[in-house]
Amino acid sequence: MKISKPTLLLDLQKCKNNIRKMVEKAEKNNLIFRPHFKTHQSIEIGKIFREFGINKITVSSVKMAQFFADDGWNDITIAFPFNPLEINEIEDLAVKITLNILVSSFDSAEKLLQLTNKKMNYFIEIDTGYHRSGIPAEDILQIENVIDVLKEQHNFKGFLTHAGHTYQANSTDEIIRIHQDSVKKMSTLKNKFSSEFPEFITSIGDTPSCTLAENFDNIDEIRPGNFVFFDLMQYELGVCKFDEIAVCIACPVVDINRKRKEIVIYGGGVHLSKEFIMQNGEPNFGQVVKLNETGWQKPVESSYLNSLSQEHGIIKASDKLINEISIGNVLGIIPVHSCMTANLMGFYETWDNLYIDHL
């Protein structure tokens, strides 16, 4: 593989193993598995899911729903609050496939009712502690009002939540506590509304919880997405092993400042995003690895991506790495957040030179 510019490398076998493990997790717990495709956004990777018998997916936009519907996926949940400005596209798509949209408040429900007389499947988004969007789990009155105002025209599918605050957890124990709190809140709603709506489902979606937890009482569906690749954030959280991370950006070395022990790479914020984790009081925008003929090696000790601008990346390097690297070499960077990185890069390459495009 010849690399001359930032290139997102995919270890296809690790990706398949990650998918297999989550499929087995869902089967073990008798859960509907509706993976979130926003991480990979790839027709080819979607085919791998099909090989495991997956026929329901989650996306994060109407555009993404249209993209995968065109590839034959016909049961799609858009896990993003209903956008009234896209009602025409939503209506068109709902005629072609089984489409589930997300109502995140009473105002959102009223707007949906005003804009369309076509029957829609909808989930009510529940806020179990992330505080991004959704109705607080404790606000039973607002939940009842949403169901009441939509019951004549639209089809209530259930309650959906994303415990995104697991990504800010300080330990795996804290992730489990957040998960258990979310399960408890969703279970309360399940018990309250199940007699009136016996077939509605409860759906949760974050990768840390779905990977680590074993208690899914009263949960019907999981929608993780990041697990397909994992990343440095998940590794630092203790959610995955380093050798389960399936993507890496190959970046050419364009300059070296030996006095400052810095390596300049062609790979910046437009490739990696500017998400970082804090390590020893310093921002880490990605972990440095060496590449070989079959993939990447273990993390290079005391070397990390410390600074990003649009196209530049600055690696704080160990003495050993500085002495081993020359301008024109290529180093690998394990991204902090693979979802953002994959979205920015737009394609993957594998070691057998398979080019995998995405949305």
For range 279-304, the mean pLDDT: 93
Report whether 224 contacts 210 (CB < 8 A): yes
Look up tokens 């009155």; give the residue.
Answer: 141
Question: Which amino acid would we find at residue 20?
Answer: R
- Report pLDDT digits (tens) over 164-220: 999 999 999 999 999 999 999 999 999 999 999 999 999 999 999 999 999 999 999
- Residue 240, CA distances (Å) to 41, 43, 87, 167, 277 in order: 21, 25, 39, 13, 16
3-state secondary structure the chain: CCCCCCEEEECHHHHHHHHHHHHHHHHHCCCEECCECCCCCCHHHHHHHHHCCCCCEEECCHHHHHHHHCCCCCEEEEEEECCHHHHHHHHHHHHHCEEEEEECCHHHHHHHHHHCCCCCEEEEEEECCCCCCCEECCCHHHHHHHHHHHCCCCEEEEEECCCHHHHHCCCHHHHHHHHHHHHHHHHHHHHHHCCCCCCCEEEECCHHHHHHCCCCCCCCEECCCHHHCCCHHHHHHCCCCHHHCCEEEEEEEEEEECCCCEEEEECCHHHHCCCCEEECCEEECEEEEEECCCCEEEEEEEEEEEEECCCEEEEECCHHHHHHCCCCCEEEEEECCHHHHHHHHCEEECCCCCEEECC
Percent of the chain with pLDDT over 90: 93
Q: How far apart are CA 55 and CA 33, in angstroms?
A: 9
In the chain, ranges of CATH 2.40.37.20 domains? 242-357
Report whether 267 contacts 6 (CB < 8 A): yes
Query: How many Cβ atoms sit within 10 Å of the Cβ of residue 158?
Result: 23
* pLDDT beyond 90 at 2: no
Q: What pLDDT, on the 0 to 100 scale, is given for residue 280?
A: 85
- Report pLDDT digits (tens) over 16-72: 999 999 999 999 999 999 999 999 999 999 999 999 999 999 999 999 999 999 999
Query: How many Cβ atoms sit within 10 Å of the Cβ of residue 94?
Result: 18
- Report pLDDT digits (tens) over 126-155: 999 999 999 999 999 999 999 999 999 999
- Label residue 113 by pLDDT band (50, 70, 90): very high
CATH H-level superfamily of 12-231: Alanine racemase (3.20.20.10)
User: Between 1.10.1740.10, 2.40.37.20, 2.60.450.10, 3.40.640.10, what CATH number should domain 242-357 receive?
Assistant: 2.40.37.20
- Label residue 279 by pLDDT band (50, 70, 90): confident
Percent of the chain with pLDDT over 70: 97
In the chain, ranges of CATH 3.20.20.10 domains? 12-231
- Report pLDDT digits (tens) over 118-134: 999 999 999 999 999 99
- Number of residues that make up the chain: 359
Q: What pLDDT, on the 0 to 100 scale, is given for residue 81?
A: 98
- Label residue 1 by pLDDT band (50, 70, 90): low
